[in-house]
Amino acid sequence: MKKIIIFSIGFLCNAVVFCQNTEELTQKDTTKLEEVIVLSRHHLSHYRQQKTLSSIDDYLEQSNAITMIKRGNYAWEPALNNMTSDRLSVTIDGMQLFGACTDKMDPITSYVDVSNLDRVSVNSGQEGAENGHAIGGNIDLQIPNAKYYGSGLKTSADLGYETNGNYKTAGLDVEYSGDRFYMNADGIYRKSDNYDAGNQQEVLYSQFEKFNLSLQTGFKLNENHSLDAHLIYDKATDVGYPALPMDVSLAEALITSLSHNYNNDEAFIETLETKLYFNTITHVMDDSKRPIVSIRMDMPGWSDTYGFYSKATAKIKKHKLLFNFNGYYNRSLAEMTMYPNDTNQPAMFMYTWPDIRTLYSGVYIKDAYTINENETLVGALRLGFHQNEIAKEVGLESLQIFYPQIKDTKNRMLTSLSSNYNLKKEQWNFSFGLGYGERAPSVSEGYGFFLFNSFDNYDHIGNPTLKNEKALESHIKVDYKSGLFRVGLESSYFYIMDYIVGDIEPSFSPMTIGASGVRVYNALPSASIFDVYLNAGYKMSTTLSASASLGYNYGKGSNKERLPLIKPFSYLAELNYNTKMFNAGLQLEGNGNQSHYSRFYGEDNTPRYAVLNLNLGTVFYKEKTKFVVKYGVENILDTSYFTYADWNNINRQGRNFFMNISVVLN
Amino acid sequence: MKLKLKHLLSILLIALLTISCSTDDEDNMDTSSVSEVDGLTLIQELTNSTHRIELYNTTGEFKTGYNAVSLRVKDLATNTYVEDAELSWMPVMQMPTMQHACPMSSPTKVIDKNTVYTGYIIYQMTNLDGEGWSLTVDYTINGIDYTVSDTITVIQNHNQNVLSFLGADDVRYIVALIEPSTPKIAINTFKVGLFKMETMMSFPVVENFSLTLDPRMPGMGNHSSPNNTDLIYNPSDGMYYADLSLTMTGYWVLNLKLLNENSEVLKGEEVTEEHTQSSLYLELEF
């Protein structure tokens, strides 16, 4: 028994060490671009979160590295290094998933709930290449490991209410941890009506309802081998998207995996994890709740992914090695049926994603070399083969309207290289990294057929002849800590070649009624994205601390146009009071005037804003039962505002009182 | 899963192959006359005392617009199909005060068949009840002339696939959609016949004109499609050809503008925001 515990702890530590610069971070002053947001050892961290039951979107938004792009109150799209879905890889425990919506209404993060996860690992740029090829980086939503503590049954329940939007949440979690068997089942249900922006302005079509179920079981075969099976079922219905012309009547995902784990500290290969997985996503857009539309339409989409990975860690002297061999096969299909107002005319039909199959297989090798006590050097390489196939003849023929010469398959080789130097000396911590990476165009960029983007009001046509997008990147980070004071500076720069972006094609006629025109995905010769963050903290006493952060971002293409969705000057100041049984935090957050907006890509000037939040937390025990109560006020001054990341300038929530109660039965 | 699918597929393929083989055998065993109209449906038979003329096409009915017609001549005495007839036909529409014919081609023997002759007839109009047309077939076998005639039914096509109009040059023209007969979301081959009404009974092909093409979807903001080409005359078969891009299924209006050999506009206008449809157009639905 003791052995097992020691072993488990050892394994956990080991895992933690592998994630560089691990810090338990949930507060917004964390500006590590390469960071791990540890939600908790167990899923709902009652001590650390401002809101026990906040969504995964809320969690991610607390990281400065990530901005959430909002089309409503649900399914926010994460952006990392000012880059969104197409340039990021978002994975769940190393598993590839691809949203089934052509209009990015279902980022992968919307198909998991915080109750499913152990932590979120955010890796900037090519440091995120372990799970796949991306330019901006990787967000890996990590599922907890099976725990063989022998601690028996543990149950916890959570209830939450927020006044704004009459938002109700309920969660239940049951965990059994034996010596050789582990089981965890949890469910969470969320329902919100329309929320109010500042000054009690109701935002229509901002409601949502969802539930999420997760079941995890683990068997420990012997000291070295264990098996895990995991299943997540997530279903959202009646989701409003105030910023878009359509809502969603169904967003459903089934995510399953089976894995085998091998651990042996004494062998050359210390750990070997092999996972087989399958996931299927169905997404149905719906306009039946909108009273006035120019034309009624159905837009369902499906995405199925089969995949595997096998990763091993090994240690030779001062080298710590990580190998990852992975592959997946994805099928993306989306269609659109439009019903003419003149009922004598037949329905109009097209494939917006004409059954695109993506096959990928690649290897990743990373070597962390400890030069000496203070210095480490990390090098990583990923090589992969990527193939797209248009499986439907009608899909191929419809794209041949635009590209008569294309064939049904397209093969690519993808490369990623990165290196990182880290120096720790006394109060200083310095790191410098360089990287080169490539990515294949996304299904929409390569094969989308008249995808309407309400942001720039253009129909978008994919381009199967696109080259790989390539990026050179560098980043630097300096931290200084002296006594109770700390200050850090962090900056990264991306020089992107063959930057994929929609190009206006004046000769094409838009399909969508009211659209300004048609953009065809094309490559700009180059684009640059730069960001810099400065953060500082001061611990006034053991209970009281203050922190602040400033950020600046910049993005421009070689066509002299500003890139879209680049964060303006941002700031955050926070005052925290923490004791074991009580915590309080006052937060001021804001953005400067977005003067460098991109009119060319459909942006307008977003005015400056600032909001004030207050959060409080109390912990108390009644016999063996623990109660955690989190409460507070968001947007205390009921400011009416929107940010650069709010699609079509939809106002954010006004004043909101919230309370979460968690009960833990041991 | 994939493997299973593959297995299923191969079983299906084998099954299909065996089935198709067996039908081939049947074909070879049967008299060729039966298989020569395979896939065609009988429209009508025209009978006189000596012969029966069988008229076929794919749907089994005449409709306004372009009709590709196959026919056979059966000798009633010998009960065999005639292999060396010379045929001509004359469809006639009886109007209250006059009668007229329509554009057509003379039936010719189908190259690799023994008993089937084919030609086209383009009915530019019909009465509401489908009445009004009659078809006379004149044919010669071994130097002897025969004739047979009967009324036929021509059903009004749901879409405007043929149009008779007066050009700016005071000539009456007929334009008819021939292809695509089964449109798809793709670049379709667009084939159109253009004829002029020389007399009530003569409708020769118009050569070397051109027609501009602008397909639109009125049900969805009247949007167009990319990479279409204009209709150009092809001397080898006397028809006009173009590329027609259809980006989705549904109801399409193919706006046309007729230009003579001097590029003077005889009929039709540009489609603009205000003028959403040319006066010269064909319709398509799929």
**pLDDT, position B34:** 54
Per residue in B110-136, pLDDT (tens digit) is 988 889 999 999 999 998 888 889 999
CATH topology for B162-285? Immunoglobulin-like (2.60.40)
Say if residues B62 and B153 touch (Cβ distance below 8 Å).
yes
B184–chain A Cβ distance below 8 A for any pair:
yes
d(CA A160, CA A173): 15
**pLDDT, position A38:** 40
Instruction: Name the domain count of chain A.
Output: 1
Say if residues B107 and B113 touch (Cβ distance below 8 Å).
no
Q: Which residues of chain A have pLDDT under 50?
A: 1-47
- Chain B nearest-CA distance from A343, in A, is 10
**pLDDT, position B180:** 94
Q: Under an 8 A CB cutoff, do A346 and B184 touch?
A: no
A579: CB partners within 8 A, 6+ apart: A543
B250–chain A Cβ distance below 8 A for any pair:
yes
- Chain B nearest-CA distance from A295, in A, is 7
**pLDDT, position A23:** 32
Which residue, chain included where needed, has tokens 């799929």?
A: B286
B285–chain A Cβ distance below 8 A for any pair:
yes
d(CA A520, CA B174): 39
Domain ranges of chain B: 33-155, 162-285
Q: To the nearest 5 percent, what fractions of chain B are helix, strand and coil?
A: 10, 50, 40
Which residue, chain included where needed, has tokens 């007399």?
A: B199
Q: How far apart, in Å, are the Cα atoms of A594 and each of A529, A549, A606?
A: 16, 18, 5
ipTM of the complex: 0.81
- Let me know if the fold of B33-155 is the same as that of B162-285: yes
B223–chain A Cβ distance below 8 A for any pair:
yes
Residue of B nearest to A400 (CA): B186
**pLDDT, position A52:** 64
Quote the radius of gyration of chain B (alpha carbons, Å).
22
Q: What is the residue range of A616's domain?
A: 2-665
CATH number of B33-155: 2.60.40.1940
Q: What is the CATH number of the domain that holds A546?
A: 2.40.170.20
Residue B173 reports pLDDT greater than 60 = yes
A405–chain B Cβ distance below 8 A for any pair:
no
Residue A276: list chain B partners with CB under 8 A: none
Residue A346: list chain B partners with CB under 8 A: 249-251, 285-286
- Two structure tokens written together for A532: 């810099």
Q: How far apart, in Å, are the Cα atoms of A66 and each of A137, A215, A416?
A: 11, 28, 22
**pLDDT, position A20:** 35
Q: Under an 8 A CB cutoff, do A348 and B249 touch?
A: yes
B248–chain A Cβ distance below 8 A for any pair:
yes
Say if residues B38 and B72 touch (Cβ distance below 8 Å).
no
**pLDDT, position A160:** 92
B158–chain A Cβ distance below 8 A for any pair:
no
**pLDDT, position A49:** 59
The angle subtended at Cα A91 by Cα A86 and Cα A95, nearest 5°, is 125
Choose among A404, A449, A508: nearest Cβ to B187.
Answer: A404
B19–chain A Cβ distance below 8 A for any pair:
no
Per residue in A45-70, pLDDT (tens digit) is 434 556 666 777 777 777 767 888 89
Per residue in B7-32, pLDDT (tens digit) is 544 544 444 444 444 444 434 444 44
Residue of B nearest to A343 (CA): B219
